[in-house]
Structure 1
């Protein structure tokens, strides 16, 4: 067996090659255990307010009571949650899961067009939205199947007078809450109060039941909902827990949660793994405010931190960061995009803690490979497959390739999604009957079982850890009457890893770069917007007329 899985011999001491998924029937079973074991321990912190496991338990029960007792939502109904990292997020998340609902994690930065697609596609019956983003919902809610809207402000759970003050400043001073009109909306605190009258009814949930619809473009086009089951989430939580178990102490960890919990990496690694450990999730609502972020770190006594390369790089370049107390920090995990060697080396030098790179996909809940946490230095690898996971390199003909050969990275394990929501053809393209998932990533394995990404999904652009699918950007740009043809590619950027660049053939010779950028600004989330636009007279095409993005990308690379 070890020949097939050479990585097992490289596992850190005490890490098992297998996990027992039958330990828990569902995600709520994990939560119940943590609530009982750590009821007095702080669970989540935000803006100076901490809520204990006992308080999160009680409030998530109330929210579940509101969903089932008042709104009459039942097992399998979908609820969208459209919020950054605030205290309401875990309460709503855990309440919805305890009620047997399927959570549709929704990026609060979505434009109206993107939001409408996700709400329609998922069939969400309810949505919880932060006031700051409710104006986007207002534009499309009538065209979706959403029947119930719950709204909340950042300060709503921060106590008086602090919470009221924060809400006032955000709305009237910083002008960060555009006016909106959603007459049917119920306030989150009112929902909790009304839900308190309806005791939580146990819902029978098993490994096959869907816990999350986690939207991703997969390898192509329009966003699809990856069906992540309770079994998938439990598996990946146990896989990650097994990996960090030797160094993480139950009831003593403080994990910095700067990546949004609506992102699968943060959801599993921070939200679930550290909940089970009785850790304190220190929520960072706006990690782009780097000086504010460093201030939070100073207060927190942090022991662990997850992030993407851009986040680590930003912190290293923020005054005051290098002077923090890193004596308790024992775990830094980088995922979502490639970790750059220069950043990893500087991180180790500054903090004394190795920045361990991990690799995963939305479709794998997400962790596939993680580097050993006792790694002495950056190795350029995405690490070793996590327990109970098979990873292989296949040729284009679907044959396993020997050590050192380059091919497609394939994954099989209990964390692999059930499929794409209501898209059987798309599912069949990536998920075989034998359980192997096509990642679309090009990689190789060395003789020790370490994997290395050679090239990414052929056309996907990765901006600060977020997937940008060229098809979607191109579809939007093609709506402009002055555009004849367009190709979107990723070009290197020192801040975000990559940015979107457009190559455009004009229909209207008067079309300017500024006009096209404004057009995209109104229709695409920030990270999807083109930073560079180059006008051409023609674009390279294949013999069947397909625009060759790869040629445009390759011509940008300096000659070796």
Structure 2
């Protein structure tokens, strides 16, 4: 199988030993900043060791999975490092997950323990999805379970071994399980190993963009997403400083860059579009050395405008959750190529293929397939889906349509799959449709993305119903109750009849083209 080529020697350092060496070398250096909280490497390591001791006390061992429902904050690096230290796998999920989606997510990837926001803790206990003694709640207890604060109060003493590099764990074992969809439909949990995360941090980020221990990295996207996790873990493996924002707000983002002298950051394209439209107070961004746009492709006009506003090196990267970054484009070096998403990274091989998997000629649009050091371990307990994603040569098929020019630059055309990209987050239409179809008057519906300058796409739903009374309000209420924030439709349109083929199947593309 193609994944075998990504396996490494078992004595390779894992994430925690790499971090531990940095903590021993510079214990008083600031590791993490969140709001008014500053943790040194020593402070962070102590909290990691305390949490690890608690995990072991409640019976967690290497190979167990834990779910993490937390907003952006200091908790994320502590949990990720503690899990890495003893070989746990983390299932990061949004605290806005609701209804059936919440149940399906935990049933799809059963966990041995949960760390969660109180509102989630209440649901988990009411639905018997976790035992109380295997639950840690942030902020406050809802039913006598231990709180995050109590964990550290109970684990005050550190053993002498905490000053030593710990015993190695299997870096090929699952470390992060992240969902490919909102989980109300058919979720495909992506398995990422510590080796994968290390390669994405070191090869695809540190080495490629030339980062070192003097950098300060800003993270302003949700930490349950892979890219934000890299923004937190990579600096800590490097001996640098990571600055975490609770959530993105443009003026706060600009203020954070100025205040903390940020030198490097990943920004989703929607954040950069809002920056272009910004008319507020001027902030000093001179500390920025490198900015990388990700998640959705910027148009050529926006890239030109950003070049005029940014004084740092400006890159755009293209990739997928399963394989990490595939190509990078230094816009500031080659502005004449600004319709491109760049060339493959040094350790990535790409090919553009036809529908039958044959390579196409230069300039011809096809599906991009790639082979890389930063690939995932597979879809959790879905060997057939994993196998189907690769060809015999070990190339992963992304589902995206692209073409290569004569200089080897990749040009992104669109998605082969019906994925909506809003605010840098991929959303599956069937998750939204599954909720709307539960209304007794809905005959059928189609959810799709409509271009929007700030978010990339907003969600529109076109539906067919029986009866004449408007059900728009009822549908919005159902979505608010069952779907998470980024899955909320912006617009509902009722049609007397959806277009169908002779077999009675709704013609999705016709619906989308007629209702843009």
Say which SS state the counterpart of residue 139 (structure 1) adopts: helix
Shift in CA distance, 275/204, structure 1 to aligned 2, threshold 3 Å: closer
What whole-Å deviation, never above 9, does each CA across 1:246-270 have from its counterpart, x for those lacking one? 3x3x2211111101222111112x1
CA distance in 2: counterparts of 1:210 and 1:98, whole angstroms: 13
1:478-489 paired onto structure 2 within 5 Å: 478-489=437-448
Q: What residue in structure 2 maps to residue 213 of structure 1?
A: 177
How far residue 186 of structure 1 moved from its aligned partner, in angstroms, is 1.1
1:234 corresponds to 2:198: yes
Contact in 2 for aligned 1:354/1:376 (Cα 8 Å): no
Question: CA offsets, 1:49-99, max 9 Å, x none?
Answer: 21112211111111111101x211001111111112211211111112112
Q: 1:79 aligns with which of 58, 61, 66?
A: 66
Give 1:425 shift.
2.9
Is the 1:542–1:548 contact (alpha carbons within 8 Å) kept by the matching residues of 2? yes
Using a 3 Å threshold, how does the CA distance of structure 1 residues 61 and 24 change in structure 2: closer, same or farther?
Answer: same
Q: Does 1:349 align with 2:308?
A: yes
Q: Which of 27, 43, 56 pairs up with 1:55?
A: 43
**1:100 aligns to what?**
87
Question: RMSD between aligned alpha carbons?
Answer: 2.5
Q: Secondary structure at the match of 2:137?
A: strand
Indicate which of 229, 243, 255 corresponds to 1:267. 229
Kindly report which structure 2 residues correspond to 1:30-429, keeping only aligned pairs within 5 A, or say none. 30-68=18-56, 70-130=57-117, 134-143=118-127, 145-147=129-131, 148-153=134-139, 182-197=142-157, 199=159, 202=166, 204-217=168-181, 221-241=185-205, 243-246=207-210, 248=211, 250-268=212-230, 270-287=231-248, 289-320=249-280, 323-364=282-323, 366-372=324-330, 375-377=333-335, 379-429=338-388
1:238 Cα shift?
Answer: 2.4
Conservation of the 8 A alpha-carbon contact between 1:219 and 1:460: no
Which residue pairs with 2:3 in the alignment? none
Cα pair 1:443 1:451 within 8 Å, conserved: yes
Aligned residue runs from structure 1 range 457-468, under 5 A:
457-468=416-427
Change in Cα spacing, 1:429 to 1:192, as seen in structure 2 (3 Å) is same
CA 1:363 to 1:499, structure 2 compared with 1: closer, same or farther past 3 Å?
same
Distance 1:389 1:423 in 2: 25
What TM-score, normalized by structure 1, do the two folds share? Answer: 0.84
Q: CA 1:140–1:345 in 2, change beyond 3 Å: closer, same or farther? A: same
- Report the TM-score, using the length of structure 2 for normalisation: 0.91
Structure 1 unaligned residues grouped into runs of 5+: 1-18, 154-179
Distance change in 2, residues 1:305/1:539 (3 Å) = same
Q: 1:297 to 1:238 in 2, by over 3 A?
A: closer
| 1:287-316 residue CA offsets vs partner (Å, 9 max, x unmatched) | 1x3333333333111111211111122234
How big is the shift at 1:272?
Answer: 2.6
The answer as to whether partners of 1:419 and 1:431 remain within 8 angstroms in 2 is: no
- Say how many residue pairs are matched: 503
